[in-house]
Structure 1
Amino acid sequence: MMEHSRTNCKLVLFKFLHGFILLCMSTCLESTTLCNLTLLGNESDRLALLDFKKRITVDPFNAMSSWNHSIHFCSWVGVSCHRSTKRVLMLNLKSKKLVGSIPSSIGNLTYLTGINLSDNNFHGEIPPEMGRLQSLQYLNLSHNSFHGKIPTNLSQCTQLRLLDLKANRIMGSIPNQLSSLLNLKYLWLYGNNLTGTIPPWIGNFSLLSGLHLGRNNFQGSIPNELGHITGLEEFLVHLNDLSVA
């Protein structure tokens, strides 16, 4: 009986140790996988930033000089990262007098929550790949020389709180796809070459505080639906060809 009891104890201990070893191996594998994914993500971010740097043709303040291999990209001028994951969260190069364009690889910075390139001389079109930045809350491309149309893919950035494209050369109408941006607090399109009518669906933006549509080529009437925005504090539509319905 004693021998049988010892055998059972050894069997239970063996099963326990076997299970513990399997659990440790599984945890290590999961940890290694997460680590590898993080490293891959970090490399993707680094390459996207370097691609962005390649598109800069004029940099009078040498803002991009720190963007090199001698320091981690999270320490580059204008780049802010998550403290633990080291993924890029913010790109802020405001008022650096930069001349260049935005590459499509900007869409690979998938953890971005904010972009501020205002008061520079960026040109070309706004890449539709920005629609991949589904965590983006703040997009300020104002006071540049962007042309072309507003990308319809921005409709996928449903977390946007601010969309500021004022003082560029953007043309075409406001895409109906942007009706999905229900979290917008500020929609600033002032001073472009936008045409068409003011979409009535903007009246569904219940959180909207600022709406700047002045200095464009909008026609038709001001939609009554805009009266539904009870928190609207700034409403600029002057210097268009508008009428009151």
Structure 2
Amino acid sequence: MMSTCPESAAFPSPTLLGNESDRLALLDFKKRITEDPLSVMSSWNHSIHFCSWVGITCHRATQRVLILDLEDKQLVGSIPPSIGNLTCLIEISLGINEFHGEIPQEMGQLRTLKSLNLSFNSLGGKIPTNMSHCTQLRVFDLLSNKIIGSIPRQLSSWLSLTVLQLGTNNLSGTIPGWIGNFSSLRSLRLCCNNFQGSIPNELGHITNLEIFVVGGNNLSGD
């Protein structure tokens, strides 16, 4: 598959188009912020390039957005589907805010994403199944939200995952045995949900696991 994130500025036309797409996606994100007591988003304006906006880190050559980091900024709002147009993102950190609504299905378009931290918000709905396309993901943190449903089978494609944190939500069903295939996993937090059944024996295959928390569910057995 051809990359949508050029490593250099050798192809100016696609890069310029990508820059405009990134800028419009960020402006749409700003529109979804309904409360900003710290005036964090005030720098997000036309007077400076979006790569200089608070919370934004860009690729030096292509000026495509690589990191969106607005963690712990007291923001209230929702995450727009247009975030899927930031196709060069490798990290999203929006933890410790008050984002509500659902995680957009369009997150699945972020094929280069390595870290997604949406912890300590008020996000609901189900985990988008098409996030299975984010095969480079290493950190998936939804701690302390209002996520419902089961852990989608499609996410078994995340074979590079090192952190899976889904604790303190409203998830149900059973703990999938295929999580045992995540050989690089170091932190697994599934506590304080509505999981039932037993802890899969397959989890014993994760030899690098350092943090394993599953209390506060309806689990049986050892």
Task: Confirm whether residue 50 of structure 1 aligns to residue 27 of structure 2.
Answer: yes
Task: Confirm whether residue 142 of structure 1 aligns to residue 119 of structure 2.
Answer: yes
**Counterpart-to-counterpart distance in 2, 1:37 and 1:134:** 17
Matches within 5 A, 1:1-245: 34-244=11-221
Three-state SS of the structure 1 residue aligned to 2:18 is helix
Paired residues, number: 215
Letter of the structure 2 residue corresponding to residue 203 of structure 1:
G
Which stretches of structure 1, 4 residues or more, deviate above 4 A after TM superposition? none
Give 5+ residue unaligned stretches, structure 2.
1-8
Q: Shift of residue 33 of structure 1?
A: 8.6
Three-state SS of the structure 1 residue aligned to 2:101 is strand
Deviations 1:95-139 (A, max 9, x none): 011000011000000000000000000000000100000000000
Three-state SS of the structure 1 residue aligned to 2:21 is helix
Q: Shift of residue 171 of structure 1?
A: 0.4
Q: Shift of residue 36 of structure 1?
A: 1.4
Letter of the structure 2 residue corresponding to residue 182 of structure 1:
L
Q: TM-score, normalised by structure 2?
A: 0.95
More relative contact order, 1 or 2 (CA 8 Å, 6+ apart)? 2
Q: What percent identity do the matched residue pairs reach?
A: 68
1:4 matched to which residue of 2? Answer: none
Three-state SS of the structure 2 residue aligned to 1:122 is strand
Q: Which has the larger radius of gyration?
A: 1
Q: Shift of residue 221 of structure 1?
A: 0.3
Deviations 1:154-213 (A, max 9, x none): 111000000000100000000000001010000000100000000000000000000000
What is the aligned-residue RMSD (CA, Å)? 1.3
